[in-house]
Structure 1
Amino acid sequence: MSPRTQAERDAVTVEIGYALVSGVLVAAATFAGVLLPALLLELPARAEHMLFRVGAVLGALVFAVRVMHVLWRFPRRAEERRLPPVQPGPPGRTGPDS
């Protein structure tokens, strides 16, 4: 396995940052969505505490799933990131709609 170039290391760093930021945002939205009834309704203290715990657990789970999903889809080698070569069209024609 050859050493990674600076561009590849930068791409990995950006992808990890994106995974973490998007994971935090999705986890916060999940936590807020679960806790919303406790904020809008007059619930007993025990129910509010339960919603808080469920929201925290679901938020952590969604965070982990989101980060794994983003990083799993990221290509591991430079060969996987390259686009296939474009085939030139027949000579004398500019495109299929001309």
Structure 2
Amino acid sequence: MGAGTRDQAARDAVTVEIGFAVATGLLLAGALFLAAASPALFGVLDRAWEGAWLRGAGLVAGAGFAVRVVGVLRRFGATRQVAGDGHAVSGRP
């Protein structure tokens, strides 16, 4: 196995980790939006408050997405180690 294969494996690992971060971030954002917007969606709120409530739910969902993606990618970056030959390898603690 040459160095080119190892470099490709490292790039593939980063790509998979980004995909995982975005996918789980989207799931979390959807769950947060549904939870936060449920009073407006089920008619519990006064009509005057529905728009503001839905915007607030969108902000909560967006913040949850950002926190999840940044957290996953930071954790991935922290677990990457440098092997003895100077190539980056990934590993979980």
TM-score, scaled to structure 1: 0.72
Would you say the 8 A contact 1:8–1:78 is kept in 2? Answer: no
**Count of equivalent residues:** 82
DSSP 3-state at the match of 2:61: helix
CA distance in 2, matches of 1:71, 1:57: 21
Q: 1:42 and 1:23 mapped to 2: Cα distance? A: 28
Dislocated runs of 4+, deviation >6 Å = none
The answer to whether the 8 A contact 2:24-2:68 is kept is yes
Give, as a single letter, the amino acid of the residue that structure 1 aligns with 2:48. R
> What runs of 5+ residues in structure 1 fail to find an aligned partner?
84-98
The one-letter amino acid paired with 2:8 is Q
Percent identity, aligned pairs only, is 42
Deviations 1:37-75 (A, max 9, x none): 112234222211121011001111110000000000003
Alpha-carbon spacing, 1:82–1:36, altered in 2? closer, same or farther (3 Å): closer
Q: Which residue of 2 aligns with 1:65?
A: 67
Task: Pick closer, same or farther for the CA change 1:52–1:82 going to 2, 3 Å.
Answer: closer
Larger radius of gyration: 1
Structure with greater proportional strand content: 2
